[in-house]
Amino acid sequence: MRPIPPGGAAVNMTIPVLGVDGVRQTVNAHLDPLETVWNFRSALNVAALNCLDARYQPILDGYKTLLAKQGKRLSKVNADLDKQYRKEFGAGAKATRAREAYMTQVYNYFALPPARQYFCDAALQISQDALATPPADLDAFALAGLPRIEAAFEQFFQEMEKYRIAVADWDNKYGAVYGSAAGGATYLRADYGPAGAPDVTLPSPSTQPVAQDYALPLPQTSYTAVPGTAQTGIADASGNQPAFGSQPVVQQVP
């Protein structure tokens, strides 16, 4: 039997490469402290919307608690990140677009469908820990929590790499006879990651459905209220929602 990919992943999905420093080049590589806090919040945001099995309920509970108790700090982090973007890209729409483009990548990353169980299980552990012992220092909590989420994705990437080696070996041995019957052409190479490899990248964010953000209401922005929940969405200065593209798995919280 031809090996089955972890999480039902496509054979040709691109896996982030390891840098020369050994760090996987994901959206969470080499972040500064403010980016770490915000990406961690974003991860829990996606988990609260995307991990819908009953056993994952503590994720939503923990995220709501985090917003309620750490709202002031999160607002300050968001404002300081806006300042950083304005300093780098200049005031106005250019800075807004740059931040929205990056956040699209962040949300797409955390919403990667085949890694969902790895991600949800890690978010569940973190949320349960936070509910048992509410963090007094959000920055320290994020600094410890984001690597735990990254470790879940790293496990998925490593299992995907092992799968590709296994399927390349299977195709090399049996593909000529059984390849078509197994669902398509043989896969004779286990390449992945670097530009120029034969892998096909995931669809661009602009072609994907829009994922709604269940986020902290932040100052100097506008939001769309969801009945029975906190307000949602990180809007730009004009009040427009950025298109957080992902696979169609991130849904509004009822």
Over 50: is that where the pLDDT of 135 sits?
yes
Question: Is 113 inside a domain boundary?
Answer: yes
pLDDT given for residue 8 in this prediction? 53
Q: What is the mean pLDDT of the chain?
A: 73
Give the Cα separation of 208 and 200 in Å (integer).
16
pLDDT in tens, 3-40: 454 555 555 567 778 888 888 889 999 999 999 999 99
Does residue 166 lie within any of the structural domains? Answer: no
Q: Pick the closest to residue 13 from 108, 123, 117 (CA basis).
A: 108
**pLDDT (tens digit per residue) in 99-130:** 999 999 999 999 998 899 999 999 999 999 99
* Residue 151 lies inside a defined structural domain of this protein: yes
Four-point Cα dihedral 112, 116, 121, 127, nearest 10: 60
Between residues 214 and 41, the one the model is more confident about: 41
Range of the domain at 145: 32-157
Task: Identify the band that residue 163 occupies on the pLDDT scale cut at 50, 70 and 90.
Answer: confident
Instruction: Assess if residue 222 is contained within a domain.
Output: no
* Per-residue pLDDT at 161: 79
Whole-angstrom distance, CA of residue 189 vs CA of residue 121: 31
> How many domains does the chain contain in total?
1
Does the CA dihedral 125-139-223-81 come out positive or negative? negative
Q: Is residue 61 part of a domain?
A: yes
Inform me whether the pLDDT recorded for 49 exceeds 80: yes
Q: Please indicate, yes or no, if residue 134 is contained in any of the structural domains.
A: yes
Identify whether 72 is part of a domain. yes
Tell me the percentage of the chain whose pLDDT exceeds 90. 47
Residue 197: pLDDT over 70: no
Neighbouring C-beta atoms of residue 29, cutoff 10 Å: 12
What secondary structure letter does DSSP report for 75? Answer: H
Can you tell me the distance from the alpha carbon of 68 to that of 86, in angstroms, rounded to the nearest whole number?
28
Q: Which amino acid type is present at position 70?
A: Q
Q: Is residue 228 part of a domain?
A: no
Structure tokens at 222: 């506008």
Q: What is the pLDDT of residue 69?
A: 94
